[in-house]
Amino acid sequence: DIVMTQGVLPNPVPSGESASITCRSSKSLVYKDGKTYLNWFLQRPGQSPQLLTYWMSTRASGVSDRFSGSGSGTYFTLKISRVRAEDAGVYYCQQVREYPLTFGSGTKLEIK
Amino acid sequence: EVQLVESGGVLVQPGRSMKLSCAASGFTFSSFPMAWVRQAPTKGLEWVATISTSGGSTYYRDSVKGRFTISRDNAKSTLYLQMDSLRSEDTATYYCTTDYYWGQGVMVTVSS
């Protein structure tokens, strides 16, 4: 199984600052079509997860351009610019390169 | 408006069975692979199973293989999860999802 390892944030992050969340996979998530099969989700307290980006860097419809995904085949970053109170929650990376699909353990973002 | 509404969650004894349903509306259900993702209390997200658009292909995590069955009825725009031989470690909130869209989740508690 592909293991997804997420980093920890130095919480709380001051409102208006940037935050970068890291995720590492135990195997390359680049498929033969050239796409990188990595999703980012945000789960706000008490809510269902929300898709932020897919194919590593493509923002989902309606997602603020303050969220940007980047990375290589095994190391990924989700950058949140000018953080706001509404960005608080737990962020998960997920590989969809192969089954079984696997999530990272989550990275909590708190806003000051 | 897109809606995914799960139902069927209850308290059940270990070893018993339960069937979850997820009624979809507001999008072309038959065009999307569907999945179940669960979240144990205070824990992270865990992928459970995925079914292709036609239902002809299904994928499971090892811990539920042979006990859970994912299925769909495209005519009714409904996704199912038949769960047999339930264990205490299956206790979780179960979400149906297309990745883009998520239901509100349904709680399943396995306890004697």
pLDDT tens-digit map of A52-110: 999 999 999 999 999 999 999 999 999 999 999 999 999 999 999 999 999 999 999 99
Yes or no, beta carbons of A99 and B59 under 8 Å apart: yes
Are the beta carbons of A50 and B102 separated by less than 8 Å? yes
Read off φ and ψ for residue A98, nearest 5 degrees: -155, 160
Closest CA to A64 of A87, A89, A39, A36: A87
User: What pLDDT shows up at residue B31?
Assistant: 97
Q: What is the pLDDT of residue B9?
A: 87
**What is the structure's pLDDT at A12?**
95
| Chain B partners within 8 Å of A90 (Cβ) | 44
Which neighbouring-strand residues pair with A102? Answer: A95
Name the residue facing A105 among B35, B44, B97 (closest C-beta). Answer: B44
A106 and B45 within 8 Å at the Cβ level: the answer is: yes
Pull the structure tokens for residue B22: 């997820």
Residue in chain A closest to B104 (alpha carbons) equals A48
Asked if A103 and B100 come within 8 Å (Cβ–Cβ), the reply is no
Chain B touched by A60 (CB under 8 Å):
yes
Rounded to a whole number of angstroms, the distance between the first and last alpha carbons of chain A is: 37
Q: What is the dihedral of CA A111, A55, B59, B61, to 10 degrees?
A: -40
Determine the Cα–Cα distance for residues A110 and B92; give it in Å rounded to an integer: 25
Residue B10's pLDDT is 84
Tell me whether A91 touches chain B (CB under 8 Å): no
Task: Give pLDDT tens digits for B43-96.
Answer: 999 999 999 999 999 999 999 999 999 999 999 999 999 999 999 999 999 999
Q: What are phi and psi of B77, to 5 degrees?
A: 50, 50
- Of chain B, the percentage scoring pLDDT greater than 90 comes to 98
